[in-house]
Structure 1
Amino acid sequence: MKEYKNPLVERYSSKEMLYNFSPEKKFTTWRKLWLYLAEFQKKLGLNIKEEQINDLKKHLNDIDWNRVFFYEKKFHHDVIAHLYALGEKATIAKPIIHLGATSAFLGDNTDLILLRDGLEIILNKLINVLFRLRNFTLEYHNTPTLAFTHYQPAQLTTVGKRSSLWIQSILMDIEELEFRLQNLCFRGIKGTVGTAASFKELFNGNLKKVKYLEKKLSQKFGFQKIFPVTGQTYDRKVDAQILNLLSNISQSSHKFSNDLRLLQNLKEMEEPFNKEQIGSSAMAYKRNPILSERMASLAKYVISLSNSSAMVAATQWLERTLDDSANRRLVLAQSFLATDAILMIWNNILENIVVYPKMIEKNIYQELPFLITESIIVKSVKNGADRQEIHERIRIHSMKTHSKMKLEGKENDFIKRILNDEKIPINEKELNKMLDPKNFIGFSSDQSLEFIDKKVNPILDRFHRLINSNSNLKI
Structure 2
Amino acid sequence: MTGYDTYKTPLDSRYSSDEMKQLFSQRSRHSTWRKLWLYLAEGEKELGIDTITDAAISQMKQHLIVSNDDFGVAAVEEKRRKHDVMAHVHAFGQVAPAAAGIIHYGATSCYVTDNAELMLMKKAMELIIPKVAKVIYNLRSFALEWKDEPTLGYTHYQPAQMITVGKRACQWIQMLMMDLENIERVYQDLKFRGAQGTTGTHASFLEIFNNDAGKVDRLNEILCQKAGFPSCYDISYQTYPRKVDLNIANAVAGLGATCMQITGDIRHLANMKELEEPFSKDQIGSSAMAYKRNPMLSERIASLGRKLASLPINFMNTMSVQWMERSLDDSAIRRSDIPELFLLADACMIGMDALSNGLVVYPKRIHAHNMSELPFMITGYILICNTNALPENIIMKICAQGGSRQDAHEEIRVLSHQASAVVKHEGGENDLVERIKNTEYFKPVWDDIDNMMDPKLYVGRAPEIVQRYVGQGGPVEVKLAPYMQKILGTATVQLNV
TM range (shorter): over 0.9
Rounded to whole Å, the distance in 2 between the matches of 1:279 and 1:37 is 56
Kept in 2, the 8 Å contact 1:375–1:434? The answer is: no
Aligned to 1:351: 357
Rounded to whole Å, the distance in 2 between the matches of 1:228 and 1:315 is 21
Shift of 1:9: 0.4
Aligned to 1:44: 47
Do residues 398 (structure 1) and 401 (structure 2) align?
no
Instruction: Answer with 119-128 or 278-287: which moved more.
Output: 278-287
Shift of 1:191: 1.2
Kept in 2, the 8 Å contact 1:418–1:424? The answer is: yes
In the alignment, residue 402 of structure 1 is paired with which amino acid? S
Shift of 1:463: 2.1
Shift of 1:443: 1.1
Instruction: Answer with 60-69 or 380-389: which moved more.
Output: 380-389
Aligned to 1:147: 153
Aligned to 1:55: 59
Could you say if the C-alpha distance between residues 318 and 380 of structure 1 is closer, same or farther in structure 2, counting changes exceeding 3 Å?
closer
Do residues 471 (structure 1) and 493 (structure 2) align?
yes
Shift of 1:339: 1.0
Rounded to whole Å, the distance in 1 between the matches of 2:402 and 2:410 is 10
Could you say if the C-alpha distance between residues 448 and 318 of structure 1 is closer, same or farther in structure 2, counting changes exceeding 3 Å?
same
Kept in 1, the 8 Å contact 2:27–2:66? The answer is: no
In the alignment, residue 41 of structure 2 is paired with which amino acid? A
Question: 1:257-313 CA distances to partner (integer Å, 9 max, x unpaired)?
Answer: 111111111111111122222222222221111111111111111122210111000
Could you say if the C-alpha distance between residues 202 and 359 of structure 1 is closer, same or farther in structure 2, counting changes exceeding 3 Å?
same
Shift of 1:426: 5.2
Q: Secondary structure at the match of 1:146?
A: strand
Aligned to 1:455: 475
Shift of 1:471: 2.6
Q: Secondary structure at the match of 1:148?
A: strand
Match of 1:9 among 12, 32, 47: 12
Match of 1:267 among 264, 269, 273: 273
In the alignment, residue 483 of structure 2 is paired with which amino acid? F
Rounded to whole Å, the distance in 2 between the matches of 1:459 and 1:108 is 32
Shift of 1:376: 4.7
Rounded to whole Å, the distance in 2 between the matches of 1:439 and 1:173 is 34
Rounded to whole Å, the distance in 2 between the matches of 1:471 and 1:321 is 42
Rounded to whole Å, the distance in 1 between the matches of 2:486 and 2:101 is 44
Could you say if the C-alpha distance between residues 392 and 31 of structure 1 is closer, same or farther in structure 2, counting changes exceeding 3 Å?
closer
Aligned to 2:283: 277
Shift of 1:207: 1.1
In the alignment, residue 430 of structure 2 is paired with which amino acid? N
Do residues 446 (structure 1) and 467 (structure 2) align?
no
Kept in 1, the 8 Å contact 2:152–2:160? The answer is: yes
Do residues 192 (structure 1) and 212 (structure 2) align?
no
Shift of 1:62: 4.3
Rounded to whole Å, the distance in 2 between the matches of 1:414 and 1:320 is 70
In the alignment, residue 345 of structure 2 is paired with which amino acid? T
Shift of 1:185: 0.7
Question: 1:107-128 CA distances to partner (integer Å, 9 max, x unpaired)?
Answer: 0000000111111111011000
Shift of 1:324: 0.5
Rounded to whole Å, the distance in 2 between the matches of 1:194 and 1:233 is 8
Match of 2:397 among 379, 382, 405: 382
In the alignment, residue 234 of structure 1 is paired with which amino acid? Y
Q: Secondary structure at the match of 1:156?
A: strand
Could you say if the C-alpha distance between residues 392 and 95 of structure 1 is closer, same or farther in structure 2, counting changes exceeding 3 Å?
closer
Kept in 1, the 8 Å contact 2:30–2:66? The answer is: no
Could you say if the C-alpha distance between residues 52 and 367 of structure 1 is closer, same or farther in structure 2, counting changes exceeding 3 Å?
same
Rounded to whole Å, the distance in 2 between the matches of 1:267 and 1:253 is 20
Kept in 1, the 8 Å contact 2:395–2:445? The answer is: no
Give the TM-score, by structure 2 length: 0.92
Aligned to 2:32: 29
Kept in 2, the 8 Å contact 1:125–1:343? The answer is: yes
Match of 2:82 among 61, 76, 85: 76
Kept in 1, the 8 Å contact 2:63–2:96? The answer is: yes
Could you say if the C-alpha distance between residues 402 and 296 of structure 1 is closer, same or farther in structure 2, counting changes exceeding 3 Å?
same
Kept in 2, the 8 Å contact 1:385–1:425? The answer is: no
Greater length-normalized contact order (CA 8 Å, ≥ 6 residues apart): 1
Rounded to whole Å, the distance in 2 between the matches of 1:396 and 1:449 is 40
Shift of 1:380: 6.3
Rounded to whole Å, the distance in 2 between the matches of 1:59 and 1:17 is 23
**What runs of 5+ residues in structure 1 fail to find an aligned partner?**
none
- Residues 128-207 of structure 1 mapped to structure 2, 5 A cutoff: 128-207=134-213
Rounded to whole Å, the distance in 2 between the matches of 1:394 and 1:94 is 88
Could you say if the C-alpha distance between residues 158 and 52 of structure 1 is closer, same or farther in structure 2, counting changes exceeding 3 Å?
same
Kept in 1, the 8 Å contact 2:191–2:232? The answer is: yes
Shift of 1:254: 0.9
Shift of 1:462: 2.4
Q: Which runs of 4+ in 1 moved over 6 A?
A: none
Question: 1:142-201 CA distances to partner (integer Å, 9 max, x unpaired)?
Answer: 111100110001111111111111111112111111111111010000011111111111
Rounded to whole Å, the distance in 2 between the matches of 1:120 and 1:374 is 50
Identity among equivalent pairs (%): 43
Shift of 1:422: 5.4
Shift of 1:65: 1.4
Kept in 2, the 8 Å contact 1:158–1:441? The answer is: yes
Rounded to whole Å, the distance in 1 between the matches of 2:381 and 2:120 is 60
Aligned to 2:93: 87
Question: 1:225-280 CA distances to partner (integer Å, 9 max, x unpaired)?
Answer: 21122111001111111111122111111110111111111111111122222222
In the alignment, residue 449 of structure 2 is paired with which amino acid? L
Rounded to whole Å, the distance in 1 between the matches of 2:178 and 2:12 is 29
Aligned to 2:324: 318
Rounded to whole Å, the distance in 2 between the matches of 1:381 and 1:18 is 66
Rounded to whole Å, the distance in 1 between the matches of 2:103 and 2:408 is 91
RMSD over aligned Cα atoms: 1.8
Kept in 2, the 8 Å contact 1:419–1:426? The answer is: no
In the alignment, residue 174 of structure 2 is paired with which amino acid? Q
Kept in 2, the 8 Å contact 1:177–1:245? The answer is: yes
Kept in 2, the 8 Å contact 1:295–1:342? The answer is: yes
Give the TM-score, by structure 1 length: 0.96
Kept in 2, the 8 Å contact 1:12–1:474? The answer is: no
- Residues 432-443 of structure 1 mapped to structure 2, 5 A cutoff: 432-443=450-461
Aligned to 1:108: 114
